[in-house]
Amino acid sequence: MPLLKLQQIAIAYGNHTVVDDFSMTLKKGDIASLLGPSGCGKTTLLRSIAGFEALKQGTIQLNNDTISSQEKTLAPEKRNIGMVFQDFALFPHLNIKDNIGFGIRHLSREQRKQRTEELLALIGLENFETRYPHELSGGQQQRIALARALAPKPNLLLLDEPFSSMDVELREELAREVRKILKHENITAILVTHDQQEAFAMADHIAVIKAGKLQQWDSAYRLYHQPNSPFVADFIGQGVLIDGLVVDENRIETSLAPLEGKVPNGCKIGCKVKILVRPDDILHNDDSPRKAKIIARNFQGANYLYTLELEDGTKLLSLVHSHHHHGIGEQLGITLEIDHLVVFSQS
């Protein structure tokens, strides 16, 4: 039985539809991520699960109870769904103990104290009870916000871009740390982010969203290696889509080389397709007869990311060990190594 079930939901502001025909289910203990460019509707979706946005269509069910539908929206305070906000939204007038204890006032003083201490130990901030939010660093505030949301043992925890105000170097580390805490507590959670590294570091399942619509609902591995649309292929990881022409049942002619692989359904001979080529698919080999001109390069430490151009203007990316130092304008020998071909029909 799924814990959370979204069925064909739609959300609109006036005539402007923000989320459309969106469905997904989540098992207890799973961590999901809603991933997409800014303005794609992912935050709106999250807020509708929390109860801050009403649905135009569809239903949201939690433990088989309908909490949102076209007719009714259960008030946020009655859902037992926790939320961690982008700016943490700690209560500045309360100390840490009272911030964490805010949502568990129904417990006895002793129970509350115990739960607070337990959570502070969990997030590694023992003895912070009497401090105030403004005395803490950003990372500490964030963990307090997490503890506060966890205190009432919510059915579901929502995290709205919780790492976006952190230093870039800290984000992945924090994301992994939060994942450890959530898994330890067996918390079901949904993370909203536009940063795929964060989503990869934290989520079991990722929903890639574009313009309010679900594009793909999959694990990080499959999103990278088996994207189901040109958008996902482009959005996840690096790579280019090159043109190809189907010449046989499983042969495609491209300006790079003839390729072997499964052709999309409904694609016959003579059909035009796009093929995903990742930077790690193009290997550097000085002996190769296949050459491409270097038009840009980006030093990344261990590797160079070269932008290459073929005679017909097709552009490629290639990740090459930085011992191999080549200048812009040089011809670089390349070989192709694609294990699994990702092909999209061009129509």
Binding residues (CB under 8 A) for other proteins: these are 50-52, 75-83, 85-87, 89-93, 102-103, 106, 132, 134, 148-149, 151-152, 154, 158
Smallest separation (angstroms) from other proteins to the CB of 34: 17
Beta carbon nearer to other proteins, 31 or 83: 83
Q: 191 - beta bridge partners? A: 33, 159
Alpha helices in 236-309 (DSSP H): none
Q: How far is the CB of 107 from other proteins (least distance, A)?
A: 12
Output the smallest distance, CB 89 to other proteins, in A.
3
Our CB check for other proteins shows the closer of 82 and 227 to be: 82
AA letter at 91: F
- Nearer to other proteins by Cβ, of 100 and 263: the residue is 100
Residue type, 192: V
In the complex, the smallest distance separating the C-beta of residue 186 from other proteins, rounded to whole angstroms, is 20
125/40 Cα distance (integer angstroms) = 36
- Token code pair at residue 327: 């200048």
Burial of 322 (0-12, 13-18, 19+ CB in 10 A): middle
Measured CA to CA, the distance from residue 165 to residue 88 in angstroms comes to 10
Choice between 87 and 337, CB closer to other proteins:
87
Q: What is the DSSP letter of 211?
A: T
CB of 86 to other proteins, least distance (A): 7
Distance from C-alpha of 63 to C-alpha of 28, rounded to nearest angstrom:
10
Using alpha carbons, list the distances in angstroms from residue 330 to 68, 298, 314, 327, 335. 60, 15, 16, 6, 16
Nearer to other proteins, 132 or 224 (CB): 132
Residue 159 beta carbon to other proteins: minimum distance, rounded to whole angstroms: 12
Residue 110 belongs to what H/E stretch?
Answer: helix 109-122
Nearer to other proteins, 92 or 289 (CB): 92
Instruction: Pick between residue 158 and residue 334 the one whose CB is nearest to other proteins.
Output: 158
- Residues 196 and 71: their CA atoms lie apart, in Å, by 35
Q: How far is the CB of 48 from other proteins (least distance, A)?
A: 13
Q: How far apart are CA 104 and CA 12, in angstroms?
A: 34
